[in-house]
């Protein structure tokens, strides 16, 4: 009987633990507008820290572009601070093309429509707090 009670308690704790974790997960929906055309794909990257911003994404997705717009949703995101970057891979080569000075040839954008001055956008300008489901609109 003692073992049966222990098993029931463990199962109950696991179920409650799962319920608590499930309640803290949110979605981030990113809508990208104003693409030049529907060629290629849109790359969307989600970052969860300043370290590695614009270099190593936490999550990423590719999307087809229709009517110069695309939408990507990241599900099951824990509460925290995030930033999003996107670029339109017009020639479908899987990378952001730049000129000899390193200036992007393809359109790009970040959350909060952050733009860089004499360089890429900064984490501080692009970050946002995720406390509930979030919808972002990024204009290229």
pLDDT tens-place string over residues 95-138: 999 999 888 999 999 999 999 888 899 999 999 999 999 999 99
What pLDDT is recorded for position 6? 46
CA gap 104, 31 in Å, rounded: 21
Contact (CB, 8 A) for 26 and 133 = yes
Q: What is the pTM of this model?
A: 0.81
Q: Residues of the chain with pLDDT > 70: what percent?
A: 84
Instruction: Please give the helix or strand (H or E) that residue 126 lies within, else none.
Output: helix 123-126
List residues bridging with 80 in a β-sheet.
Answer: 130
**Coil vs helix vs strand at 44:** strand
DSSP label of 30: E
- Do the bridges between strand 25-33 and strand 134-139 make them parallel or antiparallel, or are there none, so unpaired? parallel
With 70 as the cut, is the pLDDT of residue 48 above it?
Answer: yes
């Amino acid at each position: 009987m003692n073992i049966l009670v222990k098993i029931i308690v463990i199962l109950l704790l696991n179920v409650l633990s799962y319920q608590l974790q499930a309640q803290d997960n949110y979605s981030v929906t990113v809508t990208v507008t104003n693409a030049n055309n529907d060629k290629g794909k849109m790359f969307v990257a989600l970052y969860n820290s300043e370290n590695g911003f614009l270099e190593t994404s936490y999550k990423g997705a590719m999307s087809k572009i229709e009517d110069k717009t695309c939408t990507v949703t990241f599900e099951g995101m824990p509460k925290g601070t995030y930033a999003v970057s996107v670029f339109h891979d017009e020639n479908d080569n899987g990378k952001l093309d730049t000129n000899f000075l390193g200036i992007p040839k393809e359109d790009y954008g970040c959350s909060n429509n952050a733009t860089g001055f004499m360089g890429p956008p900064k984490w501080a300008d692009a970050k946002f707090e995720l406390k509930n489901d979030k919808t972002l609109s990024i204009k290229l």
